[in-house]
Each structure stands twice: as structure tokens, then as C-alpha cells.
Structure 1
Amino acid sequence: MFQIIGIVLLFALVFGSFLISGGNLGVIMHAAPHELMAILGAGVAAFLIGNSVPVIKGTLSGFGKVFAGPKWKASDYRDLLSLLFLLTKTMKSKGVIALESHIENPKESTIFSRFPRVMKDHFAVDFICDTLRMMTMNLEDPHQVEDAMETQLEKHHHEALAPAGALQNLADALPALGIVAAVLGIIKTMGAIT
């Protein structure tokens, strides 16, 4: 909701200040399609050239996430903590063998099935199961589990943030494309002078 309010406020303030200072909106309306074609068209083309298909798809799906709001609610975090508590309690009270059926097939697990919102996040479920699986292997170095978790999280964050990075690169390039469009406008203006 705030995003929509921000967009409306942005256009109202920019064009309102232009009108208040004596600007002619007709001139902007006449030039807008050409300018948008030069700037946004070149920006979209550069975005397509510079990014892979998964990043492009991730960026497009990310626009919906911006307006949808946060994915996780406070109750979801409570569910996640409750799930982890039940899994560790099962491991401590009934042993590693009792936990194995839950982490090998979480879709059929009685513990995991109690938390459907957590089950929808495949990365979270896989991360929990992989980490518990490593813990049950009685590794000699206790830091191996921590290192593996950090590596997996870094990889996930790198992949998840790739669309945002691509969009940031596009945003960084748009002022330069705007200058190109402005120079083209100056060339057209100079050519029209008799």
C-alpha cells in the first residue's frame, strides 16, 4: 500500500512543482513517448543483454513480492521455532533413529505436517533436514556443521539477491541513458533551428 502511495506522491510532487513554476505540461506529454522509448527501451534492452533467464524471471516475479508485503508473519516465526523445538526434543528424548524418518521424508512427517506454512518454503525445510542429518552423523569436528550451514546460507542469499543486484545495476545505468536521450533531444532541437 505504501509503495502505491509513494508512486502517486512522487509523480504529484515532480509534475506539480513543474506546473507551479510555470512549466507547460503539453510539451512534456508531447516528448514523453519518445523519451521513454529511448531511456526505458534502452534500459530494458541492456537488462536483457546483461542477465541470465533465471535472473530476469526472478526480477519480474520480485515486483509482485514488493506489493504483496512481507512473506513471513510473526506466527510463522513461532511455528518455525516450535518445529525446531519438537525436532530437537525428539532427537534428545527418543534418539537419532526416531528423528531419521522425519528428516528423510518431511512431507510425510507428523512433526513437519503440523506446520504447513513452514512446509511451503522448500529451502527452509531442506536446510533444516540437511543440518539435522549432518548433526546425526556424529562428525568429528563440531564446526563442520556450522561451516556447512554458513556455506549453504551464503549460496542461497547470493542466488536470492541476484535479481535485486541486476535491478540495481539497471538503476545505476538509467541516468547515463537519460543523458543520451537528452543529447539526442538537443541534436533534434539544434537541427530545427533555422
Structure 2
Amino acid sequence: MLLIGGLVFLLLCVFGSFAASGGAIMPLVKSMPFELITIMGAGIGTFLMGNSMSDLKHVPGAFKTAIKGPDFGRQDYIDLLGLLFFFTRLAQTHGVMALESHIETPMESTAFAAYPKIRDNKRVRNLICDYLRMISMNMDDAFQFDEVMTRELSKNLKEDTHIAHSFQTLADALPALGIVAAVLGVIKTMGSISQPPEVLGEMIAGALVGTFLGVLLAYGIVGPLAVRINSVVEEDARYYDLIRVVFVAYLQGNPPQISVEIGRKDIPVPLMPSFEEIDTTISELAIG
């Protein structure tokens, strides 16, 4: 909602102040559709040239991400720590083979069933199961485990932020595309140099609308959109990284409760639950 509210406020301030100061709206209204077609058409063309088909499929999801915000909230972090505690405690008390029934058929697992949002999120579920499987296959070197998981998380983050970087590249190009539209308007004006001054003045004003729109779209809309997408993706990446932190802490020889506490300390401050909340959560878990 902040994204939409900010956009509305931006447009009201820009066009409202222009109208309130006595600016002529008609040249804007008459020229804007054609200038937008030139600028946005060229922008979309460059965007298509710079991305693959698989990248373009993520564009609708990127807009949804920007509007909706992060997928994971405070309770989601609490739930994840509770589930990770269950698995690490189960491995400690009953051995790593006790994990097999949960990681091979997670959709039927009673542990995952207690946290349906985690169970139904394919990426989170697979990340937990894949690395618990490595632990069950005696991959107990914490440094090697950390390196492998860090590489995967870094790869995923790079792929997830690619579309944001593409939007930023588009934002960088829009002012120049606005100049292209303005130059075309000037060429059109020069072709009508015999017209009366009032007509030429309106045509020149229309040409300048191209530069105005290019800068406004770049720094007022597309640029902030790219920043918003990137920040949301990076915030969600902290949720996935929490899995790595807890598992690595456990493999380093820490008890499950200490491993979870180490993970809690890595949660972003606005979302970090208190020690008491986590202690209450894990004390209610039954390890069969």
C-alpha cells in the first residue's frame, strides 16, 4: 500500500503544483499520449532485448512482490525456528535416521503438518529437506556444509534480484529515451517553422514533455519500483538464510536450543522475536 500511496502522492505533487502555479495543462494533455508511446514503447523494447523469456515470466511476480511486500513476518520466523528446533532435537535424541520419514515424504510429515505455511512453500520445504538429507548422510563438516548452502542461497538471491536490476537498467535509460522523444518533437517543430509563434510555442512545449516524462518515469516511478523489489527480495532472503544459520550452529556442536538462539539473533531487528517467545514455542514441542 505504501507503494501505491507514494505513487499517488508523487503525481498529485508534480501535476498539482504545476496546475496551481498557473501552468498550462493543455500542452501536457495533448502531447503526453504520443510522448508516452514513444518513451514507453522504446523502454519496453530495450527491456525485451535485455532479458530472456524466463526472466520476462517473472515480471508479473515482481509487481506483485513490490505491492504485497515481504512474504514472511514475525510469526513466520517463530514457526521456522520451532520447526528447526524439532528436527535438530530429533536428530540429537534419536539419531539422524529418525529424520528420514519427515524429509522423504514432507507432505505427510506430522512435523511439517504443524506448520502448514512452511510445508506448502516449496522452496522453504525443499531447502530444509535437502540439507537435512545431507546431515542424515553424515555430512557433519560444518565448514563444508556452510559453504555449500551459502553458494546455493547466493545463487538463488542473484536470480531473484535479476528482475530488479533489469528495472533499474530501464530506469537509467528512460531519461535518454525522453530526450529522444523531445528531439523528435523539435524536428517536428522545425518542419513547421512557418507557423505563427503561438503554434510554434505549443509545439515546443509538447516536445519538452518528452524530457519531462523520461525523467519523471525514471526517478519517480521505475527507479523506486526497482529499489522496492530488490529490498523485498533481500528481506525474504534472510528467512532462507536462517535455515543455514541454525543448521551450521548445530553441526558446530551446539545443542538445539543454543542453535535456535544463534538463529534468532540473525533475524532482522523489526521481526526478531524475544527469547521468551522462542523458549515458549520450543518448550511446547513434543519430540517423539
TM-score band (shorter)? over 0.9
Offset of residue 17 of structure 1 = 2.2
Give the residue type in structure 2 aligned to 1:10. L
* Distance in 2 separating the partners of 1:157 and 1:96: 29
Match of 2:184 in 1: 184
SS at match of 1:70: coil
Offset of residue 62 of structure 1 = 1.3
Match of 2:87 in 1: 87
Offset of residue 32 of structure 1 = 0.5
Match of 2:65 in 1: 65
Offset of residue 23 of structure 1 = 1.5
Output one character per residue of 1:69-115: Cα deviation in whole Å (capped at 9) or x when no partner: 32112111111111101111111111111111111221111111111
* Distance in 1 separating the partners of 2:142 and 2:3: 45
1:107 is the counterpart of 2:112? no
SS at match of 1:173: helix
CA contact (8 A) 1:59 1:164 kept: no
Gaps of 5+ in 1: none
SS at match of 1:72: coil
Give the residue type in structure 2 aligned to 1:162. H
Match of 1:49 in 2: 49
* Distance in 1 separating the partners of 2:173 and 2:144: 42
Offset of residue 138 of structure 1 = 2.2
Match of 1:170 in 2: 170
Offset of residue 63 of structure 1 = 0.7
Give the residue type in structure 2 aligned to 1:182. A
Count of residue pairs the alignment pairs up: 194
* Distance in 2 separating the partners of 1:46 and 1:192: 31
Gaps of 5+ in 2: 195-288
Offset of residue 31 of structure 1 = 0.2
TM-score, normalised relative to structure 1: 0.94
* Distance in 2 separating the partners of 1:148 and 1:122: 20
Match of 1:2 in 2: 2
Task: Answer with 25-34 or 63-72: which moved more.
Answer: 63-72
* Distance in 1 separating the partners of 2:185 and 2:98: 72
Residues 111 and 30 (structure 1 numbering): CA distance in 2 closer, same or farther, change over 3 Å?
A: same
* Distance in 2 separating the partners of 1:183 and 1:149: 52
Correspondences of 1:20-169 after superposition (within 5 Å): 20-139=20-139, 141-169=141-169
SS at match of 1:180: helix
Give the residue type in structure 2 aligned to 1:66. A
Offset of residue 36 of structure 1 = 0.2
